[in-house]
């Protein structure tokens, strides 16, 4: 069994980090994607461990990404700023026109 953290979709349709209990703690973790690349996510809380083949496994619930425009949590919209830099913004900043956004 590989000791890596991967993404898993829960029954409610939420993406979570899934891996050995000793690897998933609140805070930043590196998650391996299906295409072999990795991405850093922040674990907000860890679910109850459950046994998979004798190893305790957990779901790590991801903290909402911070808005790249105003630094508030809850960024869910993909946008580009006035310089063309891609990033995720919150609901409020998503209402701004592109030339008002600045991610750098």
Inter-residue contact 90 to 72 (CB < 8 Å): yes
Q: Is 100 in the site for Zn ion (CB under 5 A)?
A: no
Site string for Zn ion, 56-75 (x = CB under 5 A): -----------x-xx-----
Nearer Cβ to Zn ion (17/89): 89
- Measured CA to CA, the distance from residue 52 to residue 68 in angstroms comes to 37
Q: Is 90 in the site for Zn ion (CB under 5 A)?
A: yes
Nearer Cβ to Zn ion (5/67): 67
> Least distance (Å) from Zn ion to the CB of residue 48?
33
The structure tokens 């779901």 sit at 59
- Measured CA to CA, the distance from residue 72 to residue 63 in angstroms comes to 12
> Least distance (Å) from Zn ion to the CB of residue 40?
20
Q: Hey, CA dihedral for 8, 9, 15, 20, is it positive or negative? A: negative
Positions that interact with Zn ion (CB under 5 A): 67, 69-70, 90, 93
């Amino acid at each position: 069994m590989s000791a890596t953290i991967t993404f898993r979709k829960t029954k409610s349709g939420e993406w979570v980090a899934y891996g050995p209990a000793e690897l998933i703690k609140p805070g930043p973790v590196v998650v391996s994607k299906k295409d072999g690349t990795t991405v850093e996510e922040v674990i907000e809380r860890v679910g109850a461990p459950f046994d998979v083949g004798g190893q305790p496994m957990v779901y790590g619930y991801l903290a909402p990404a911070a808005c790249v425009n105003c630094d508030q949590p809850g960024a869910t919209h993909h946008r580009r700023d006035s310089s063309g830099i891609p990033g995720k913004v919150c609901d409020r900043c998503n209402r701004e026109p592109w030339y008002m956004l600045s991610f750098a």
